[in-house]
Amino acid sequence: MEWYVESGVDILLEDSPIDRFSEVPPPPRQKVIQVSGHSPAERLAKKAENNPRPAPLIKPQAIMPDGAAVKMAEEIAAKTNTLKELKQAMSSFNGCNLKRTAKSLVFADGNPDAKVMLIGEAPGRDEDIQGLPFVGRAGQLLDRQLAAIGLDRDSAYITNVIPWRPPGNRTPTLQETEICRPFIERHIELVNPDMILMLGGSSAKTLMKTSDGIMKLRGKWVEVQTARTQIKALPTLHPAYLLRQPSHKKLVWQDLLSLKQSLNS
């Protein structure tokens, strides 16, 4: 069941299986032939009059991010001066298709005055339901990791690059990431932490603007550059990855010790 939930299967169609082969099909409809003095053309016209064709269904078109939408996101994000204004701007922004399928805007959690800001990739099912980042199994592991170095959600600030859950927890596309980049960069500027912990390859690649893999990037301090600031940052493995590869927890422990040393220096 956990495998199905992590794969995005979160809705049951029935409580118990149904044997469709045992169902008895309805009897075939019998055609009633009426003799009429009308011509075939007149009979067809009368049939159309009594049974008008329903209007075609018009499916709403998905909003896909493009250059104009990215430009609009940049302008909107630049005008915000507080975290409250940024959240309101993101709530009213309709330029990203992910908003159409998500239940919630997952903005942030924790203390915005904290020294360290943790940035993941995108919300999952539990986060979408609760409207908070890292509250599922990966989030519970993250809480234990933070506690191991003396941190919690009162002494850290947590958010994601993407604020809306991708359908089925799929990986966000490059276009979806670019449309959300102005918001996360402005988010960093407004929080202005002493340092950033980038959780996972997607977060690190987006903020560092690189194509290198997380195993190559992790454990090495870098500078994250936004339009208005430059902040010390450390890439590490995502907690969800550690649930699949627990043997790599030792690597994250090394990164957390490096973070703790930097916070205490």
pLDDT at position 58 is 42
Distance CA 171, CA 168 (A): 9
- Output 253-260 pairs: Cβ under 8 A, ≥24 positions apart: 253/148, 254/219, 255/197, 255/218, 255/219, 256/145, 256/148, 256/149, 257/149, 258/219, 258/221, 258/234, 259/116, 259/149, 259/195, 259/197, 259/234, 260/149, 260/150
pLDDT at position 201 is 95
Set out the domains of the chain in order of their start, with CATH numbers.
Answer: 67-264 (3.40.470.10)
Which residue bears the tokens 């690189």?
Answer: 210
Distance CA 169, CA 166 (A): 5
Find out whether 118 and 145 touch, Cβ atoms under 8 Å: no
Distance CA 198, CA 150 (A): 18
Find out whether 202 and 121 touch, Cβ atoms under 8 Å: yes
Q: In 3D, which of 193, 197, 194 has the Cα closest to residue 257?
A: 197
Per-residue pLDDT of the chain in tens (265 residues, 90 and over written 9): 666 656 665 555 666 666 666 666 666 665 554 545 556 556 656 665 666 555 544 433 445 557 889 999 999 999 999 999 999 999 999 999 999 999 999 999 999 999 999 999 999 999 999 999 999 999 999 999 999 999 999 999 999 999 999 999 999 999 999 999 999 999 999 999 999 999 999 999 999 999 999 999 999 999 998 888 899 999 999 999 999 999 999 999 999 999 999 999 8
Q: In 3D, which of 132, 265, 259 has the Cα closest to residue 196?
A: 259
CA dist 27 → 24, 186, 238 (Å): 9, 65, 57
Q: Which two tokens stand for residue 219?
A: 């454990």
**Secondary structure of residue 55 in the 3-state scheme:** coil
pLDDT at position 70 is 92
Distance CA 65, CA 70 (A): 7
pLDDT at position 59 is 39
Which residue bears the tokens 């992790």?
Answer: 218
Total Cβ atoms within 10 A of residue 154:
9
Contacts of 22 (CB under 8 A, 6+ apart): none
pLDDT at position 250 is 97
Find out whether 162 and 176 touch, Cβ atoms under 8 Å: yes
Find out whether 201 and 216 touch, Cβ atoms under 8 Å: no
* Cα 80 from chain centre: 22
CA dist 97 → 59, 65, 219 (Å): 14, 7, 34
Find out whether 235 and 207 touch, Cβ atoms under 8 Å: no
Q: What does pTM read for this prediction? A: 0.76
